[in-house]
Amino acid sequence: MPPRPDLPDPSPALAERLAAALAAGAIRPAFQPVLDLRSGAVAGFEVLARWTDDLLGPVPPARFIAVAESAGLIAPLTAHLIRAACAPARAWAGGFRLAFNIAPVHLQDPLMPALFEDSVREAGFPIARTAIELTETAAITDAEAARAGADRLRAQGVRLSLDDFGTGHSSLARLQSLPFDEIKLDGGFVRGMERAATGRAIVGAVIGLGRALGVPVVAEGVETAAQAGALVALGCDFGQGWLFGRPLPPEGVPELLRARGEA
Ligand code: C2E
Ligand code: CA
Ligand code: CA
Ligand code: CA
């Protein structure tokens, strides 16, 4: 479909272009390493969606994921991304885990667990080496359905990760409502650590919470060696951010694994 500059609201046109991009295989996975902060080894990768449109240029995922959700494209987009990430990752050395972002509304969809499992299996990647990051775009309305979906996936070894902890809907209430295996501390708190003692206290408290619950904490948005050092001093387990590696196309990952080793 041609672009529709006549439309007052750009998002219907964006939804059409997104549907076409999805059909053409133009939504691609990028892989960002998650490091074991003590050993420096690669423990896993977060898969992030990337789309460069011929006319619009690069479209940020925060924007097109929202469009996909409202246009009913999130299930096919997620399935495509899982296959497109698992297929190359199958050949890479090591026991790293692949983490996918899933919106909470999607977790309560009774069809989502089968979609996830089938997409991973079709691509030939071990399902026990995947994880789901529950993002914070929306509240869970059907807690029982979300719990059933989480239980079914966890029974196969899929790790359930609470994304962007401390912001929006990613709260203590959610931590209590679902069986999380990991907490991802939002990058805003990592940046806040350097600014004030309050920031350090918050990060330290979340790491302590993880320890009390017996789940590891992953710090996001680690950009400087000073931040990494402060996180290690506070006992943080894992880190992710530009200091350790930007999101990479699949072709770039084998070299990173050779340079960094794996956990
Ligand atoms: P997120 O899940 O919190 O992902 C982390 C975001 O932080 C990514 O932005 C990543 O590129 C960025 N980032 C990584 N390291 C650093 C750093 O050191 N400093 C800073 N400032 N940023 C860093 P990105 O790729 O633009 O994705 C934005 C959001 O879009 C993601 O936030 C996630 O909520 C959503 N998203 C991305 N891909 C998918 C997807 O496949 N499905 C769903 N449902 N959501 C996705
Ligand atoms: Ca995430
Ligand atoms: Ca996050
Ligand atoms: Ca986020």
Closest by CA position to 181, among listed 137, 150, 135, 148? 150
How far is residue 211's CA from residue 231's CA, in Å, rounded to a whole number?
14
DSSP 94-145: S--EEEEEE-HHHHT-TTHHHHHHHHHHHTT--GGGEEEEE--SS--S-HHH
Q: Which of 22, 31, 45, 48 to mutate to test the pocket of ligand 1 (most atoms within 8 A of CB)?
A: 48
Closest by CA position to 261, among listed 33, 41, 57? 41
Please report the beta strands in the chain, taking only residues with DSSP state E, as ranges in sequence order. Answer: 27-36, 42-53, 57-59, 97-102, 130-134, 159-165, 182-185, 217-219, 238-240
How far is residue 217's CA from residue 171's CA, in Å, rounded to a whole number?
14
CB 220 within 8 A of CB 32: no
| Predicted-complex ipTM score | 0.98
Q: Which ligand is nearest to the CA of 221?
A: 1
How far is residue 192's CA from residue 109's CA, in Å, rounded to a whole number?
35
The β-bridge partners of 53 are 57
Q: Which ligand is nearest to the CA of 161?
A: 2
pTM of the full structure = 0.94
> In the prediction, which pLDDT does 11 show?
65
DSSP code, position 238: E
Answer whether 119 contacts ligand 1 (Cβ < 6 A): no
Answer whether 247 contacts ligand 1 (Cβ < 6 A): yes
Nearest residue by C-alpha to atom 23 in ligand 1: 221
Nearest residue by C-alpha to atom 4 in ligand 1: 48
> In the prediction, which pLDDT does 190 show?
97
DSSP code, position 222: -
CB 136 within 8 A of CB 164: yes
Rounded distance from Cα 99 to ligand 1 centre (Å): 12
Cβ-based neighbours of 6, under 8 Å, separated by 6 or more: none
Cα 248 to its chain centre, rounded Å, is 14
Q: Note down pLDDT in tens along the chain; length 263 residues.
A: 344 344 444 467 899 999 999 999 999 999 999 999 999 999 999 999 999 999 899 999 999 999 998 899 999 999 999 999 999 999 999 999 999 999 887 888 999 999 999 999 999 999 999 999 998 666 788 889 999 999 999 999 999 999 999 988 788 988 998 999 999 999 999 999 988 899 999 999 999 999 999 999 999 999 999 999 999 999 999 999 999 999 999 999 999 999 887 65
